[in-house]
Chain A
Amino acid sequence: MNPLSVVARTVCNLFAWFLAVFGIYVIVHGHLTPGGGFQGGAVVATFMAFLLVAHGGRKMQSWVRKELFTLMECVGLTIFISAGLLGMSNTFFFNFLAKAGGLFGSTVPLGPNPGALNTSGTIALMNLSVGLEVVGGLSMILLYMFSGVHPEEPFGREETGHDR
């Protein structure tokens, strides 16, 4: 339960921040570059893993609140379903924002192009909502599974020898 050494702690703090920025880049550019809601959400969710491995569980569980992650997951799923329902005049999951002008509504030239951010209609919106949902879900899995470990139980130490 005690934290790691100074070197590892500092680098973990800095890396957690850098990977959060990079995960947001992956989520926002999901319709242009490889990536999207699932991958970016998994990258951002390593923020929790870094905090857990650098500071130990007890200190971290006093910093974060689990209810917030539940809220994030429910809000993400709700936005996703309602973005699907809004195109209901045509079909479910109809991309009503694409090429309609305004935010996320400009057209794309055919063939290879450098890529513009305000394209692709509801796909960008759904990327954001699914990213929110995956961040909440994976962080909750990590936190609840760690709260199932009982630190007062003895840690079995065997020989670190050659097996088989």
Chain B
Amino acid sequence: MTTEALFSYAAAVLGLAALAMLGRLVAGPTLADRAVALDAMNTLVVALMIILSVIFDSVVMVDVAIVYAGLSFVGTMFIARYLEGSM
């Protein structure tokens, strides 16, 4: 089994895990649960982007992962700020 095949199996499992997290987004009894689901999905997608840049054999695509890791943090902080009602 080549290395690219290993990475593509890992990418498929990560994608299915991210799909499974949507259930908490649908059924979360409180708004904080939905924010938790969004946060977990952000982490998974950053890992997925790093793995995909190896599969596609293009080094410069890792920049997207760094940008996403930083900017999803802004979104999470704004949502938390709104939830605690002190904006």
A–B contact (CB under 8 angstroms): yes
Contact residues of B: prevailing secondary structure: helix
Partner of B71, one of A34, A46, A155: A46
Per-residue CB proximity of A1-29 to B under 8 Å, as 1/0? 11010001000100100110010001000
Q: Does A43 contact B (CB under 8 A)?
A: yes
Partner of A34, one of B64, B73, B78, B86: B64
Q: How far is the CB of B68 from chain A (nearest CB, A)?
A: 11
Binds B, one of A96-104, A122-130, A132-140, A156-164: A156-164
Q: Is the CB of A157 within 8 A of B85?
A: yes
How many residues on the B side are at the interface (Cβ–Cβ under 8 A)? 22
Q: Is the CB of A19 within 8 A of B70?
A: yes
Number of A-B residue pairs with CB-CB distance less than 8 Å in the complex they form: 53
How many residues on the A side are at the interface (Cβ–Cβ under 8 A)? 28
Residues of chain A lying within 8 A (CB to CB) of residue B63: 26, 33-35
* Residues of B near any A CB (own CB < 8 A): 27-32, 60-61, 63-64, 66-67, 70-71, 73-74, 77-78, 81, 85-87
* Residues of A near any B CB (own CB < 8 A): 1-2, 4, 8, 12, 15, 18-19, 22, 26, 33-35, 39, 43, 46, 49-50, 53-54, 56-57, 149, 155, 157, 160-162
